[in-house]
Structure formats: C-alpha cells, structure tokens
Structure 1
Amino acid sequence: MNQENLRPLLTLWVKPRETTRQILDSNNSKFYICLVILAGISGALNNAVEQGAGDEQSFPFTMILAMILGILGGLLSWYIVSLILYWTGTWIGGEATREQIKIAFGWSNFYIILTMLLWIINILMFGQDLFTSENQNSTAIMYIGILELIIGIWSFIVLVKMIAEAQHFSVWKGLGNILLTILVVMVPLAILGGIISLLILSF
C-alpha cells in the first residue's frame, strides 16, 4: 500500500508508524479532535457503569452528564497529557514539536470508533440497567469488557509506536517516553494522597 493511500482509522491498527508519519507530514485533518471527545465520553460512561450511577439517576440524565463530563474531561486530559508527553520526551532527546505530539496523541484514540460501537450494543441491550449495580456481573457485560480489554492492550502498543515515530525514537524509547509521563502524573498524586492521609490521621 502506498503511503498516500493510507487511511488512519484503518491502517493505524496494522501500520502505526507509517500512518503516523503520513499524518504528521501531510494530513491537516482535525478529525482527531472528534476522537478525543469520543474517548472522553467513553471514559465517562465507564465511570457511570462502575459507580452504578443508574441506581439514583435517570437514564437520560446519566447519558447527558456523561456527554458533558466526557467532552470536557477528554479535551482537558488530551491537552495536559500531550503537554507532559512532549515535555518528558525532550528529556530523552525527542525531536517532535508540541503540535506533533498533540496530533499523534489525539489520533492514538483511533480505536474509540470500535469501542463506541460496543457501547451502542451495550446500551441497546441493557438501557438503564447497564448503569445499575445489579447488572455489574452480567455475562454479556463481562464478554464486552474482555473485548474492550483486548482493544485497550493493542491500542496501547499502537500508542507506543506512534509516539516513537513522532519523536524519531525506537519502540523501547517511545515506551520510555510514555512511562516517564505516567511517573510525572502519578508521583505528585501519590505524594498529595500521602499528605492528605497524614493530615486525616493527625486529627
């Protein structure tokens, strides 16, 4: 397949580095913003399921709240994480610009189209019950959860390769860039959590 014929939503699954290079070199599409928003909505729906939001909220309210929080959370997390990815990448010799990291990280949500199809199936099958605590152990939900896990693992592998290509890294160095980003996010949160726990225990 020639580079100019690559279609990101399809070829990122199997040719992540080649597709990422094409996107960064010649693709001016802002479609990745839609992917970021859908990923945020998917995350908000996951939270609603895990918290059993349907036990106390109506189905329409749960869906509207998930959309609002998902859009805001998706865009905010994309902006912050891409900034940290760029920042930590410079520590280890990354060559990507801030804008290139934003684009690559945005397109790394390519898998969300398939995930949203699974959400549609879930919602059509269970409706309000999907978000109730009584339905958490449903066999159908467990099977769909396994599919989401498989998609998540593969999409993480693709993310590593996308960041590696954007930064002109090897795959292992791309993984290092992502792990550094996780540390930068998690360490302050762990310290803050420890301080809060100490303050609570002191009273």
Structure 2
Amino acid sequence: MANGAGGSIAPFFTIWTEPRATIRRIVDTDPTRNVIALAAFGSGISALSGQWSKAFANNANLSVLWPLWVAVIVAFWAALGVLSLYIGSVVLKWSGSLLGGVASRVEVRAAMAWSQVPAIAAGIVLLVAVLMGVPVPLQRHVPLSQIDPAFYKIMVAEGVLGFWGFIISLKCLGEVHRFSAWRALAATLIPGLIALVLIGFFVFAFGRLSGHH
C-alpha cells in the first residue's frame, strides 16, 4: 500500500475507512489527481438524478430537445462544482490557517474533492433508484401517505452516506492542515459565522439608516 495513491482505484476504497492515510498518500504523491473530475462529477450526478426524476414524473410532456437540455444542465452544475471547489479551497485554507493549519490551496482542494466520494456514491444510488422506477417527490410539501416506502429506504441510505462523507471531509481537511478533525470542524464553521455576523451588521445598519428617514 505504499503507493496506494498511485493505484488506479485504491483511494476510492480506502478513503472510506482510512481517510487520513489516504489523503496523505494522495497529497504526497499527486495532490491534483482526479480533483477536477471528482468535483465535476459530484455536482453533475446530482443534477442528472434531478432531471431524470422530473422526466419520469412528466414523461408525457418531454420535448425532443430534452436530452440536450439535460446535457446543458449537467454541464452547468459540473462547472459550478469545480468553481465551488476553487472558492472553497481559498476559504478553508484561510480559516484553517487561523487555527494553525499549514495546508496549501492545492492540498485543500484534494481534501475537498476526495471527501466527495461518499456523496458521489449517494448520487449514484439515487440515480439508479430513479432509473429503476422509485418515485421521487418533486414538491417540498408532500403528504407522508403519498410518498413511496421505497423512497424512505433511499433517503436512509442517502443520510448515512452524507453523514459519513461529512466525517471523512473533516478528517481529510484535518490531515492536510495537520490538525484534528475537531479543529477542521471549527475551520469549516468560521466562514459561516463571519458571514452571519456581517449580514447581521448590515441588516442592523440598514435598519438604523432607514429609521432616520
């Protein structure tokens, strides 16, 4: 396993159970390996699942241009996933450095991208379920009695994969920054807290200014 990161598929398996060791091998050998592809595929597979869900729910009204529309939507979300990766790496490098982290943006991108493997697996599970005919509620407020029981099982699987993916992301970020997963959690919370403070400040300032008119 010394060159586990260099193998064709080894990191896709070891990232589930050995996230710290796996991401360390990756950043020490080739920190750019599969990073763009993982970021693009992670967002793209979710968009594809959503489009297929809508198609099955409304297949009588599909346009002949529907395949082209799906391709455009998936490409857009894939590009957005890559853009989010680059923006997120800048933010998490900065917030991690506040807590003593030492990772570069390239290393943070590797940690972010490879920790998406469980999310990609969740997207594939959902897509397969949709293609097998499991009805997916497209509206937010749907009575529980109208939701197919099979969909609940899919949601349980999605929830488990999502939770484990979050744990993996903290461990990967902690490893590249060379601190604990708990400190990685703090690093991910700092940007959001700062954003909330700034929003609160602007809302308060706007309210005060409006009150003078």
Bucket of the pairwise TM-score, normalised by the shorter protein: 0.7 to 0.9
Task: Tell me how many residue pairs correspond in the alignment.
Answer: 196
1:165 aligns with 2:191: no
Inter-CA distance 69–5: structure 2 relative to 1 (3 Å threshold) = closer
Residue 55 of structure 1 deviates from its aligned partner by 5.6
* Alignment partner of 1:100 out of 104, 107, 121: 107
TM (norm. structure 1) is 0.77
* Alignment partner of 2:116 out of 102, 105, 109: 109
Give the structure 2 partner of residue 67 of structure 1.
74
Cα RMSD of the aligned pairs, angstroms, is: 3.7
Residue 131 of structure 1 deviates from its aligned partner by 6.8
Instruction: Name the CA distance, whole Å, in 1 between partners of 2:110 and 2:127.
Output: 27
Instruction: Name the CA distance, whole Å, in 1 between partners of 2:47 and 2:196.
Output: 20
Stretches of structure 2 lacking an aligned partner (at least 5 in a row): none
Instruction: Name the CA distance, whole Å, in 2 between partners of 1:139 and 1:65.
Output: 32
1:77 aligns with 2:48: no
Give the structure 2 partner of residue 152 of structure 1.
162
Instruction: Name the CA distance, whole Å, in 2 between partners of 1:43 and 1:120.
Output: 8
Instruction: Name the CA distance, whole Å, in 1 between partners of 2:69 and 2:149.
Output: 23
Residue 18 of structure 1 deviates from its aligned partner by 0.6
Give the structure 1 partner of residue 150 of structure 2.
140
Identity across the alignment (%): 26
Inter-CA distance 137–184: structure 2 relative to 1 (3 Å threshold) = farther
**Range with bigger deviation, 112-121 or 76-85:** 112-121
1:36 aligns with 2:39: yes
* Alignment partner of 1:19 out of 18, 22, 34: 22
Superposition pairs for residues 121-140 of structure 1, below 5 Å?
Answer: 121-126=128-133, 130=136, 132-133=138-139, 137-140=147-150
Instruction: Name the CA distance, whole Å, in 2 between partners of 1:66 and 1:187.
Output: 34
Instruction: Name the CA distance, whole Å, in 2 between partners of 1:115 and 1:79.
Output: 23
Inter-CA distance 171–52: structure 2 relative to 1 (3 Å threshold) = same
Inter-CA distance 28–92: structure 2 relative to 1 (3 Å threshold) = closer
**Structure exhibiting the larger radius of gyration computed from Cα positions:** 2
Residue 52 of structure 1 deviates from its aligned partner by 9.9
Letter of the 2:22 counterpart: T
Instruction: Name the CA distance, whole Å, in 1 between partners of 2:48 and 2:117.
Output: 18
Stretches of structure 1 lacking an aligned partner (at least 5 in a row): none
Matched-pair contact (CA < 8 Å) for 1:48–1:62: no
Q: Could you give the per-residue CA deviations for residues 151-203 of structure 1, whole angstroms, max 9, x where no partner exists?
A: 000010011000100001022112111121333455556777x58x97xxx9x
Inter-CA distance 78–147: structure 2 relative to 1 (3 Å threshold) = same
Instruction: Name the CA distance, whole Å, in 2 between partners of 1:52 and 1:185.
Output: 37
Instruction: Name the CA distance, whole Å, in 2 between partners of 1:28 and 1:38.
Output: 18
Q: Could you give the per-residue CA deviations for residues 18-59 of structure 1, whole angstroms, max 9, x where no partner exists?
A: 111101101355312111112112443576699999669736
Residue 125 of structure 1 deviates from its aligned partner by 2.0
Letter of the 2:42 counterpart: A
Letter of the 1:181 counterpart: P
Instruction: Name the CA distance, whole Å, in 1 between partners of 2:25 and 2:132.
Output: 39
